[in-house]
Amino acid sequence: MRMLLGMMAMKDWTRRMAEMRVMITIGVLIAIVTAMLITVLRLVLLSWL
């Protein structure tokens, strides 16, 4: 019985870990994209001025 509960908890934990990994990956991608956009905008402004 305890083993079954442990397996269930592990399955739930792995699912949570996968969700967290996806969230972290999305956050990192968004951060990289925003940084690139900021640098591009800065370069455009510098070239315009």
Predicted confidence (pLDDT) per residue in 9-42, tens digit: 888 888 899 999 999 999 999 999 999 999 999 9
3-state percent breakdown (helix, strand, coil) of the chain, nearest 5: 95, 0, 5
At 1, the pLDDT band (50, 70, 90 cuts) reads low
Which pLDDT does position 45 carry in this prediction?
93
Which pLDDT does position 13 carry in this prediction?
83
Rounded to whole angstroms, how far apart are CA atoms 15 and 2?
20
| pTM exceeding the 0.85 threshold for the entire prediction | no
Which pLDDT does position 10 carry in this prediction?
82
Which pLDDT does position 4 carry in this prediction?
80
Rounded to whole angstroms, how far apart are CA atoms 49 and 30?
28
What DSSP state is assigned to residue 34? H
Element (H, E) at 1: none
